[in-house]
Structure 1
Amino acid sequence: MKAGDGSAEAKRRAGHAAADAVEDGTVVGLGTGSTAAYAIEAIGRAVENGLDVHGVATSAESAQLARESGIPLTTLAAVDGVDLAIDGADQVADGDLIKGGGAAHTREKLIDAAADRFLVVVDDSKLADRLDWPVPVAVLQGAESVVAERLRGLGGEPTLREAERKDGPVVTDDGHLVLDCDFGEIGDPGTLATALSTIPGVVEHGLFVDLADEIYVGSADGVDVLQ
């Protein structure tokens, strides 16, 4: 389940502005989604012009785009750490995020949290006063009914995400299913995030609380950086 799309130009502005923060000799986390894609392409052009970086991809999709853009790839296991991660979000409110519209939030959270700096790139349509988008929850196959019951106990309404181009559910790069859970307006994202993490069968959830260092918000007029 993906959030409503903003303008391509606003996304491009945000992605390119964040890509400008990438320095020579760094390891960069490469996010997933349409806005992060603009950043990856911009980094690729900088590599072509001599920038020396290595990327750690958050999904098969971002890895493929990185290869096409000429960015050398590595893995978390092969490096001492990630200097900078650039990734998108489905919704942003008061510095917290909901991610996982592309079903890549498990790897995204791992890499974004490992980074010394995490830059979020969004267009201005993703900003909200309170988080209220359904929270994607990656679950072990076979555990979806048990997890769904626990999610209802927390006040959520879970829905198994169905694939759009084939029969059956969405399966993530790591082989998990995704429950999109509607909690309505989320008053305390931190408390909910902790509760979701304690449910047996949950691999990862799409609430990113207190992780973003800077949020690049693209609009028709330019880019604002929220900290």
Structure 2
Amino acid sequence: MTGELSPIDKAKFAAAKQAASLVESGMRVGLGTGSTAAWLVRCLGELVREEGLRFRGVPTSSRTADLARDVGIEVVSLDEARWLDLTIDGADEFDGDLNLIKGGGGALLQEKIVATASDQMVVIADAAKEVERLGNFPLPVEVIPFGWQTTQALIEETLVSMDVMGRQTTLRMNGERPFFTDEGNHILDLHLGRIGNARQLAMVLNQIPGVVENGLFIDICDKVIIGYGDGRVETRDINAGTVSESQLDFVEDDNIFRDI
């Protein structure tokens, strides 16, 4: 029941509900990973069950794939879909130019591949994710396990010449063991505080041997849908240069809340 949800969860649900309305039957849609994207998948599942929506979803992680199948969405691989009409995903941070930090959920590699294989990428987020400058959220960098400590040292050395506030890096853990991505890689979290030139940093990081990909999404997002705890939704379209607002009326018996 929406009345039992926190304001943050209500905000995430509002953004997800609005984004779900962008999906039309026959589309091929990238499905993101994370708490906000999970709301989207539940909303889309409700449309599949209640309104007969039919589309093919390309998940960006095994967790999203499992949830999508559970709610009745047809799941296919990116190779099967080949190209996508739309990808909808969350973000850990976004700035005024709709540049992003992603990867808090550990799926940045698949998320970036899927997003760039789409005609349009839409980000759904609560208002707290907006920042003036990227970097407060630790920047995830996916690295191969072989020689990861050497890769870490190379990253830290590289950061000395970058316009960042901090240079601490940590290996992401899963309990007492290193975290592994779906591709079997590690993630190094870069605690930078502030990133002065995100575009430059993204390019430089990917030149370091052992780095697979970084969580800076530059010039990839086309639209951001921001949800608020009172049901307000703001949509910003970077290409059209437009900002629109709407109001979501929470429905207490909404089917997606049955298992929450």
How many residue pairs align between the two structures?
221
Provide the rounded CA distance (Å) in 2 between the counterparts of 1:162 and 1:175: 13
Partner of 1:128: 131
Q: How far apart are 1:162 and its partner, in Å?
A: 1.0
Provide the rounded CA distance (Å) in 1 between the counterparts of 2:130 and 2:194: 14
1:174 aligns with 2:175: no
The runs of at least 4 aligned residues of structure 1 exceeding 6 Å deviation read none
Task: Mark the runs of 5 or more structure 1 residues left unpaired by the alignment.
Answer: none
1:161 aligns with 2:164: no
| Pair member with larger Rg | 2
- Pick the aligned partner of 2:79 from 50, 68, 77: 77
Q: TM-score, normalised by structure 2?
A: 0.82
> Bigger shift: 145-154 or 125-134?
145-154
Q: TM-score, normalised by structure 1?
A: 0.94
CA-to-aligned-CA distance 1:93-122 (integer Å, 9 cap, x gap): 121111111100010000011111100011
Provide the rounded CA distance (Å) in 1 between the counterparts of 2:63 and 2:9: 19
* Letter aligned with residue 88 of structure 1: G
Provide the rounded CA distance (Å) in 2 between the counterparts of 1:121 and 1:98: 13
- Matched residues, percent identical? 40
Counterpart secondary structure, 2:58: strand
CA-to-aligned-CA distance 1:115-152 (integer Å, 9 cap, x gap): 11100011011111001121101100123112111211
Task: Mark the runs of 5 or more structure 2 residues left unpaired by the alignment.
Answer: 1-5, 160-166, 238-260
Distance 1:6 1:162, change over 3 A: farther
Provide the rounded CA distance (Å) in 2 between the counterparts of 1:61 and 1:162: 18
Provide the rounded CA distance (Å) in 2 between the counterparts of 1:28 and 1:106: 17
Provide the rounded CA distance (Å) in 2 between the counterparts of 1:214 and 1:38: 18
CA-to-aligned-CA distance 1:29-51 (integer Å, 9 cap, x gap): 00001111111111111112211
Q: How far apart are 1:56 and its partner, in Å?
A: 0.3
Provide the rounded CA distance (Å) in 2 between the counterparts of 1:12 and 1:142: 40
RMSD of Structure 2 on Structure 1 (CA): 1.3
Partner of 1:39: 40
Q: How far apart are 1:63 and its partner, in Å?
A: 0.3
